[in-house]
């Protein structure tokens, strides 16, 4: 019926926009974009039309066009939480995490009770490694919505990031009872179990997750770590090499592969792999801790001390790195701890 209307005559912007909505709902995003742009020609200051065309453009991955449309909408109607939320989502999608955080926190100051904004703002904060702030927002959101399983899942992940592994385990086990095949829940649970040193349980969880997504790097890496700590070195090497095959040179996987060779006592081989990871990412605290461990084991205390200090600067709250620092410094006589990465950030 809309197609039969005289769409291109003056005064028909509303009908054109409705047709655009119909196309959008039917996932015909190219046609939807065309209709919204036609409507905007007649109503260039209609912020809702600008938001609609941005939505179609995001689906078409025309991110620059979508950003311009949303910025224009924001100028027309500033301080609108829906526009800011859409813009923040766009920045998350395009991995502009600092812009996402700034935009979504602005939306959060407008409405501190909107669960959608709270959830998105917490993701942006976590992406910028502001885990305590992300956890604080998620805890508030969860108190207001205790039956939201996906919110509970993400809060469980936040507890992992802030080293509250037991709490993370409790939350995520409750989620798996309701969502047994949710891949992200299984990954987070596996990581929480690793943090709690429940390695055999973590292996089972990661193997179940692998059935759902056999090429997932985080799953393969987590499974490799679980196997390493159970001294199943050959199986661990197989999983970690498989992960490295799918994404050659990923510093997080290389760190865990280096951890495997350290655990097996192959320090020279571990050093070669860890140095490769170091060339790619020099700001990962656990990597510096492992380099310190290797150098210390090879008798190079000067390099060991340098790397453990950098690791502690980067991750001042990591108990394993603190422990290694005291050992290398000579304060403690304990055995150095290998520090694999149990959650691969992407």
- List phi, psi (to 5°) of 337: -100, 130
CA proximity to 257, closest of 279, 241, 281: 241
Whether residue 223 is predicted with pLDDT greater than 90 in this model: the reply is yes
Cβ pair 193, 201 in contact under 8 A: yes
CA proximity to 322, closest of 311, 330, 306: 311
Tokens of 274: 């860890």
How far apart, in whole angstroms, are the C-alpha atoms of residue 289 and residue 31? Answer: 54
- Tens of pLDDT, residue by residue over 49-105, are 999 999 999 999 999 999 999 999 999 999 999 999 999 999 999 999 999 999 999
* Confidence band of 8 (pLDDT split at 50, 70, 90): low
Q: Sign (positive/negative) of CA torsion 20, 87, 120, 185?
A: positive
| pLDDT, mean over the chain | 91
Whether residue 202 is predicted with pLDDT greater than 90 in this model: the reply is yes
Cβ pair 289, 308 in contact under 8 A: yes
Report pLDDT for 341: 66
Give pTM, 2 decimals.
0.80
- Tens of pLDDT, residue by residue over 104-117, are 999 999 999 999 99
């Amino acid at each position: 019926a809309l197609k039969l209307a005289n769409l291109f005559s003056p005064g028909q912007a509303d009908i054109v926009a409705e047709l655009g909505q119909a196309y959008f709902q039917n996932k015909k995003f190219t046609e939807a974009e065309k209709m919204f742009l036609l409507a905007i020609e007649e109503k260039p200051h209609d912020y809702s039309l600008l938001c609609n065309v941005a939505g179609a453009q995001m689906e078409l991955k025309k991110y620059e066009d979508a950003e311009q449309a949303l910025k224009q909408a924001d100028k027309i109607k500033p301080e609108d939480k829906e526009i800011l939320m859409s813009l923040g989502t766009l920045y998350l999608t395009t991995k502009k995490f600092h812009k996402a955080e700034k935009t979504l926190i602005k939306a959060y100051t407008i409405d501190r009770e909107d669960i959608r904004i709270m959830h998105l703002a917490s993701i942006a904060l976590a992406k910028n490694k502001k885990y305590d702030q992300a956890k604080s927002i998620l805890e508030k959101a969860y108190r207001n919505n205790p039956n939201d399983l996906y919110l509970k899942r993400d809060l469980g992940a936040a507890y992992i990031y802030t080293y509250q592994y037991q709490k993370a385990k409790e939350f995520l086990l409750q989620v798996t009872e309701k969502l047994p095949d949710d891949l992200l829940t299984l990954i987070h649970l596996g990581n929480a179990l690793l943090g709690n040193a429940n390695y055999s349980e973590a292996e089972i969880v990661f193997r179940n997750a692998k059935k759902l997504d056999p090429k997932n790097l985080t799953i393969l890496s987590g499974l490799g770590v679980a196997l390493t700590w159970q001294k199943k070195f050959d199986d661990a090497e197989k999983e970690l090499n498989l992960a490295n095959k799918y994404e050659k040179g990923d510093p997080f996987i290389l760190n865990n592969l280096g951890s495997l060779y350290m655990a097996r006592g192959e320090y020279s081989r571990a050093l070669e792999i860890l140095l490769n990871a170091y060339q790619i990412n020099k700001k990962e605290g656990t990597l510096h801790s492992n380099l310190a461990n290797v150098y210390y084991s090879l008798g190079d205390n000067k390099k060991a001390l340098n790397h453990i200090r950098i690791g502690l600067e980067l991750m001042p709250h990591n108990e394993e790195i603190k422990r290694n620092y005291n050992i290398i410094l000579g304060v403690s006589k304990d055995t150095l701890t290998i520090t694999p990465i149990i959650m691969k950030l992407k």
